[in-house]
Amino acid sequence: MIFKSKWHSGFLLFCSSFFPLLPIHAQISGYDVAFPSAYLLGLSSQGVVSTHAMGSIYGNTAFLSFQNKHILDVSSSGSYANPNLSPVYISGAGYVSFSESFGFGFRGKPVYLRSFPSDERYSNYAFQAFANWKLNPYISFALHLGPGVSGRLGGYSSYSWNVSLSTAIQYEQFRLGVLLESPGSYRYDQFLGSERLNEKLPERVLLGLGYKWNEWLEFQLEGSRKFYERTSVRLNESNQYIPYAVRTMYSGNFSIAVGKIESIQLLTGVGREIRMDRTLRGFYTASIGIVGSLFPSWFGEGYFYALSVQRAGLSVPEREGAETRMAFQLQFQF
């Protein structure tokens, strides 16, 4: 009996040494990269090489330097996984074309989101001011800076700085886009009511290549690398580090736009994204959307709409994280 008691005590002591890690796995849900506008959702794109303002204002704003319009934009999105609906996520932006080579604006957009299948929903928003500068007729740069905030069970985090830098290159029918982003680190003082949680979100690098075949047909290809090896999670001063394989941190998409946005344009795209969880899980997306001018005979030129649907997690059951995403967007150019 004495030997058995000592054996049990030793076993419990050994197990307890791993206990600080278990709540991290059990309590903290993962997240996906967000699609902040209906135009980008229709392309399954992050907007790093999108030339139209409905995409570039939430992605690579350096492309806004190649047009001279002022812009106001609002977009809403949500998702569905039987039988649940996510909250409605809102994005908004404004832009002032100050001169032929300089412009500035603001935007608020989701960066990372998670609604299903966990009961714990996650959202990370960035509220940025940005400025872009056209170096010459072919090259433009943009800087985006502002506070970000995240939401989990128990409320919202402290704010952190989200900073990103982008470059846009256009030459004849070709275009190239590069975007570097650091979303920041966030602290929750009352996670699950009484826990202390600190997490650092992954930086990412995006590269895109686009080609305009003619007035009616455009192609774009994007690739991204998320630095998940630089993420960190700390619950009640207990650190967690998972040695993810670097090969799992790459994702991308291929998109096609058919038609003219001044009348009607069809968007479609397929992509591969990465879900941040206990493991980095890759899943595939397919989307379709329509974009056009909003009753130009009534309102005049410069009013645009976009409506898109995306299926995320192709061939994956909804109980394992598949969902249907929907988004609607309005933009006014003047």
Does residue 8 sit in helix, strand or coil?
Answer: helix
Per-residue pLDDT at 3? 39
Tell me which architecture the domain covering 20-333 has in CATH.
Beta Barrel (2.40)
Q: Compute the distance between CA of residue 263 and CA of residue 5 in angstroms, rounded to an integer.
A: 80
Closest Cα partner for 127 from 166, 76, 93, 88? Answer: 93
Q: Are 74 and 151 a contacting pair, CB within 8 Å? A: no
Residuewise pLDDT in 10s, the chain (334 residues): 443 444 444 433 333 333 334 444 445 778 899 999 999 999 999 999 999 999 999 999 999 999 999 999 999 999 999 888 999 999 999 999 999 999 999 999 999 999 887 677 899 999 999 999 999 999 999 999 999 999 988 789 999 999 999 999 999 999 999 999 999 999 998 887 788 889 999 999 999 999 999 999 999 999 999 998 888 888 887 777 667 888 889 999 999 999 998 889 999 999 999 888 777 888 999 999 999 998 887 877 899 999 999 999 998 888 888 999 999 999 999 9
Q: Compute the distance between CA of residue 93 and CA of residue 99 in angstroms, rounded to an integer.
A: 19
Question: Structure tokens of 74?
Answer: 């609002």
Other C-beta atoms closer than 10 Å to the C-beta of 25 total 12
Cβ-based burial of 222 (10 A; exposed 0-12, middle 13-18, buried ≥19): buried
Q: Compute the distance between CA of residue 120 and CA of residue 131 in angstroms, rounded to an integer.
A: 36
Closest Cα partner for 329 from 30, 52, 16, 15? Answer: 52
Q: Are 249 and 223 a contacting pair, CB within 8 Å? A: no
118 Cβ contact list (under 8 Å, min separation 6)? 29, 30
Q: Compute the distance between CA of residue 115 and CA of residue 32 in angstroms, rounded to an integer.
A: 9
Q: What is the DSSP letter of 87?
A: P
Q: Compute the distance between CA of residue 227 and CA of residue 250 in angstroms, rounded to an integer.
A: 9
Per-residue pLDDT at 124? 96
Phi, psi dihedral angles at 22 (to 5 degrees):
-60, -45
Per-residue pLDDT at 125? 97
Per-residue pLDDT at 241? 65
Tokens 């940005």 — which residue? Answer: 130
- Say if pTM beats, i.e. exceeds, 0.85: yes
Question: Structure tokens of 54?
Answer: 């409905």
Q: Which sequence spans correspond to the domains of the chain?
A: 20-333
